[in-house]
A and B are shown apart, each in its own frame.
Chain A
Amino acid sequence: MSEETSQACQVADKWRKKRGSLIMALHEIQGIKGYVEFKDAMDLSERMNIPLARIYEVLTFYNFFKLVAPGKAVISVCTGTACYLKGNDKVLDKFKSELKIKEGESTADGLFHLQCVRCVGCCGLAPVCVVNGKTYGRMTPEQVPAILDEWREAFKEN
């Protein structure tokens, strides 16, 4: 049994006695690993006594859950109304052309994952992008290469 598997089991044991806790358990697994893979879902199914189909029903319904490992740096481009009005589509396009991927995809080197999110709630700073929890406000397409370099550097150091 690998370490991850036991993590999913631990999470399942923590939540299984509480009512309606499947989503919370999935959140916790994604919080640890960044995504929920098949064997985690299997573990939850067994330990929490929930049919696997029901778990996938929930996993695929909600946008928040990821089924495959995202890149090391998850770039979330806000597509809320304020960001839309202030031209975040151009920032998104710049990310796409710089990384040569579409939204919802990861780069081949596994470094970046690009996604669109619905309003991160910093509308005062629009347009906004979030990379691994760090928020970049008042974005322009010109800033994109520098942000990518910043994260490339950060990963090089580690």
Chain B
Amino acid sequence: MVDMAEINKRFDIHEIAKNKLAEIEKYICTIYCCHSTGCKSSGSDEIIALISQIVEENGLNEKIRVVATGCMGLCAQGPLIRVEIKGQKDLLFKRVDLDATADIMRQYVVPAIEAKGQAVLPANLERYVLSLDLPFFKKQEKVVLQNAGHLDPEDITEYMAHGGYLALEKALKTMSPKEVVDEIKKSGLRGRGGGGFSTGMKWELAAAVPTVDEKFIICNGDEGDPGAYMDRSILEGDPHAVIEGMMIAAYAIGATSGWFYVRAEYPLAVERLEKAIKACKKNRLLGNNIMGTDFCFNVDIRLGAGAFVCGEETALIHSIEGARGTPRPRPPYPTNKGLWEKPSCVNNVETLANVSKILLKGADWFASFGTETSKGTKVFALTGQVEHSGLIEVPMGTTINEIVNEIGGGVPMGKTLKAVQTGGPSGGVIPAEYMDMPVCYEELKKLGSIMGSGGMIVIDDSSDMVSLAKFYLDFTVDESCGKCAPCRIGGKQMLTLLDKINRGRGKKKDLELLKQIAFAMQKASLCGLGQTAPNPVLSTLRFYEKEYTNKLLDTPKEEK
């Protein structure tokens, strides 16, 4: 006779979390090693192996826990390791190599454990220490990234020990689907992929369409914007948070199965996601009658294949179907006719990662971050000419000055800030004069840029804006799917004109023509790619027209 109660207990998330916490509590020291793409590239694999080897050599297996985590944020200073010893101050070490790791372990960690928390860091190792009091860490507000860098993304029990799947349990057992939708609506969460459409409203629309045989929830992880890696880091650092968010979304809208669409260029993210899904199945969190309720749900992964346009939802749907990723006119919207003509709801990775936190802590808590219209936090990939390049999360409404100069540590090598670019190839530049502008959907739009998915590129005074605009346009022209004429032909013509101007052959009328084509593309293109492709040109033209006119043949040159 099988004892059902005993079996159910094995899959009880509270029980698993309790056991894991008790296990963690036994260790005196935990060493967290960043194990995301950035730090892995800088050699964190070997470093983790070395740490484990030294722990083994000293017979400290039961005292030291080594955890390979997701992104800790400061990618430029990687590989990063954080050492937490009970009774000692937490220390973060930067740019460690194998020798430094061995020294840190043998001269600090091992003696510290033996000295029962009274060890001092040898002076020769101080140069590797990165202060945790830096504005880079202090100024951030981690909601989506709260677990990244603090747990092993490949271990589901650790996620549970950090409160994982409690939100799902709350939704399934105590809330009706409508209550979940209402809670998300109330929180003011908006799509983090760039569009900024209210997530609650999207779910409401999707929930209103009756489920005949199938309804899908799709997670958009096709992060094509060059210079942005938020979604990759979330999937690598905390894949279960995204899966949990998707399951809650599925429950709210009545979806029968879910699809992850992830770029093939992110092998590590795909691998971690696959492992996470497997772990969910093993723990009966996916499949039939999840947590003993009537809720049944399954997920699958589909890979992108290097097409920027597939970030657009209708193109993405075609790509999941195994076809060319070309967009189609909307309406009908995917919420009515999506994947295989069935109602589908497409949400971004970061959007879904927010969901479980909102359900657990409440819509009011979430809405306490941010501005009037943009609630919560936003993850940015802060890159380019900035001291502390990395992954950051700040409340909406934080000013660009705070992000670039305080968190980012300013522009290096004595250069001055010229502008910040957001929204990638669909966005625009924000000149240094607008540094005090709060970052939110509306304010960025006013300046002709967009929030986008979260790429924030810092540009110093050595960069030429015409070339930058050409760089972006080059990208969108290359990535245009070619289905509609305004985008296919307009983009190419704009690029030819821009090239002509950049080579010093342009005339005044070329600038006019550039604007006209841009206008036509914005109005007549089929999808977001074409509609926003002229943005980098228009935006640089708006703020840095002199840089364009200085390159023209028939216009007198002016000093910058």
Interface residues of chain A, those whose CB is within 8 Å of chain B, are 19-24, 26-27, 54, 57-58, 61-65, 79-82, 84-86, 117-126, 128, 135, 137
Contact = CB atoms under 8 A, between A and B. Distances in A.
A124 B264 contact: no
Contacts of A63: 305-307
A123 B229 contact: yes
B41 A23 contact: no
B75 A20 contact: no
Nearest to B74: A124
User: Which of B76, B224, B226, B325 is the most central at the interface, judged by chain A CB atoms within 10 Å of its CB?
Assistant: B226
Contacts of B275: none
A82 B459 CA distance: 9
A23 B38 contact: no
Given A23-B319, A124-B75, A125-B76, 12 more contacts: A58-B323, A61-B325, A62-B304, A64-B305, A82-B457, A85-B459, A119-B226, A121-B232, A123-B75, A125-B42, A126-B383, A126-B389
A19 B77 CA distance: 43
Given A81-B457, A122-B37, A117 B265 contact: yes
B381 interface: yes
B325 A62 contact: yes
B543 interface: no
B434 interface: no
A133 to B, nearest CB: 8
Interface residues of B, number: 51
B322 A121 contact: no
Contacts of B37: 120-122, 135
The 9 nearest A-B residue pairs measured at CB: A124-B75, A135-B41, A62-B305, A81-B227, A80-B226, A63-B306, A22-B322, A64-B306, A121-B229
B325 A125 contact: no
Contacts of A58: 322-324
B322 A123 contact: no
Contact of A137 (B42, B265, B322, B424): B42
B302 interface: yes
A103 B287 CA distance: 46
Contact of B266 (A20, A22, A57, A121): A121
A80 B227 contact: yes
Interface in B15-46: 37-38, 40-42
Contacts of B384: 81-82, 85-86
A65 B303 CA distance: 12
Contacts of B320: 20
A57 B481 CA distance: 12
A64 B270 CA distance: 16
A40 B78 CA distance: 41
Contact of B475 (A21, A65, A118): A118
B509 to A, nearest CB: 29
B305 A23 contact: yes
Nearest to A117: B265
Contacts of A118: 224, 226, 265, 306, 308, 475
Given A117-B265, A121-B37, A21 B322 contact: yes
Interface in B73-122: 74-78
Interface string B384-395: 110001100000
User: Which of A64, A120, A123, A135 is the most central at the interface, judged by chain B CB atoms within 10 Å of its CB?
Assistant: A123
